[in-house]
Structure 1
């Protein structure tokens, strides 16, 4: 199995993602909190996976378009969302199949750390956002993935590998570490201003449901969350 082949384990990944501590009780609530009030907004869920974020956004009144490079995960999203979202096969390393200003909000949940180069996807997110639009993004916290990688230089942008256990199988994953300053530089170069940087606590319910994971999430960096606005559209604080 090649690295990051989500089609090969789409069902196992989605089932785990639905209820685990890291996604259901940490990343997803934090991302949705940053997204804020979405009723009436046109939202692009970039890297929508099995549609968990999209379902929550739709329930809150958003009109959602989801894209993913995994046909297997998109099929799960289609079944989950039952026609309530437009779903397309697309790769973030290529231009997006949407017109300028097509969306009010882009949500990119745990997808950017799969990409070596952030330039094109961030420029494309900026392009498809309307005036006043925002990008809400979550990614690996660089203070988490650098110790995991074993690489000797935090300040480099570099590739590293990991393994996951899903459905009784070992899955080979490949990610890109980038230091914090490189993230900030990429946002600025793409025309974004940082509105919020968040390092949230996990949902308190995880303390009882997943005590070991809760302790880890509450004491060590795992993911990093940003709310970004088009530069010139709104003043960041």
Structure 2
């Protein structure tokens, strides 16, 4: 099974809790783009073990989360408590929420697993209030060319990479799409692209990860968007 997070949920949660790429890059960037979330109803799409859910809740948001992996939802419930609004659901299928239920949706490192973005983006647009925001991060499209220099950047293409999460080996499979294909999909789903961000790592990253960041002020990894529902 591709991207079988049930098989390595605990190892993934442990590995990413304090990692450079997650704790000092992705999550801080999403929180920065979200800004003041006090009182906002936020859907954490692909919530994983719940660290972003927790951070948004601590900032005063009313958070609901889902993930396709039942084991990841178990990890999130351990972290967030039994009363947390969590469920197992697939972003590639109709979402179990009413129209206009949320002010924001965050989708951190989720959509790049999918070949087709049209149905997921349409569902996210449906559950957002008009004027609501989708705040998301996906693999930077240039990453594909760095890993596969001979590949065609302009084609939508499937690719995989091997990882070790807390000592456990895993393979993740992604779908590359060029930047214009991303923004075209956003427009077709009823979104306006408000922000495209290539952030620097968070404060403290250079001190905690001196070897990985030696000589660097930033690095190429993910591309971040703020989209407004129109």
TM-score range, shorter chain: over 0.9
Q: What residue is the counterpart of 2:19 in the other structure?
A: 20
Does the CA contact (< 8 Å) of 1:63 and 1:85 recur in 2?
no
Residues 64-89 of structure 1 deviation map (CA, whole Å, 9 limit, x = unaligned)? 11010011110010011113521010
Q: Is the 8 A contact 1:34 1:227 kept in 2?
A: yes
* TM norm structure 2: 0.96
What does 1:17-166 correspond to in 2, within 5 Å?
A: 17-150=16-149, 152-166=151-165
Q: Is the 8 A contact 1:187 1:193 kept in 2?
A: yes
**Structure 1 residues 105 and 217 mapped into 2: Cα distance closer, same or farther (>3 Å)?**
farther
Q: Residue in 2 aligned with 1:234?
A: none
CA distance in 2, matches of 1:161, 1:94: 23
Q: Deviation digits for residues 166-189 of structure 1, max 9, x if unmatched?
A: 232321111111100000000000
Give, in angstroms, the shift of residue 212 of structure 1. Answer: 3.0
The match for 2:6 is 7
Runs (5+) with no aligned partner, structure 1: 232-237
Question: In structure 1, how many angstroms separate the alpha carbons of the residues matched to 2:99 and 2:190?
Answer: 14
**Is this contact kept in 1: 2:48–2:67, CA < 8 A?**
yes
Distance 1:216 1:114 in 2: 31
Task: Give the TM-score of the pair, scaled to structure 1.
Answer: 0.93
> What is the CA-CA distance between 1:123 and the residue it aligns to?
0.6
Shift of the 184–86 alpha-carbon distance from structure 1 to 2, 3 Å rule, reads: same
Distance 1:17 1:86 in 2: 22
**Structure holding more helix per residue:** 1
CA shift, 1:30, in A, is 0.2
* Mapped contact 1:92–1:121 kept (Cα < 8 A): yes
Partners in 2 of 1:216 and 1:169 — Cα distance?
Answer: 30
Preserved contact between residue 46 and residue 68 of structure 1 (Cα < 8 Å) = yes
Q: CA deviation at 1:208?
A: 1.3
Output one character per residue of 1:95-121: Cα deviation in whole Å (capped at 9) or x when no partner: 111110000000000001101001011
**CA–CA distance in structure 2, aligned partners of residues 114 and 215 of structure 1:** 30
Separation in 1, partners of 2:217, 2:87: 36
**Superposition deviation, residue 220 in structure 1:** 3.3
| Helix, strand or coil at the partner of 2:206 | helix
Task: Provide structure 2 residue ranges, at least 5 long, that are not aligned to the other structure.
Answer: none
Contact 1:105-1:129 within 8 A present in 2 as well = yes
Residue-pair matches, total = 230
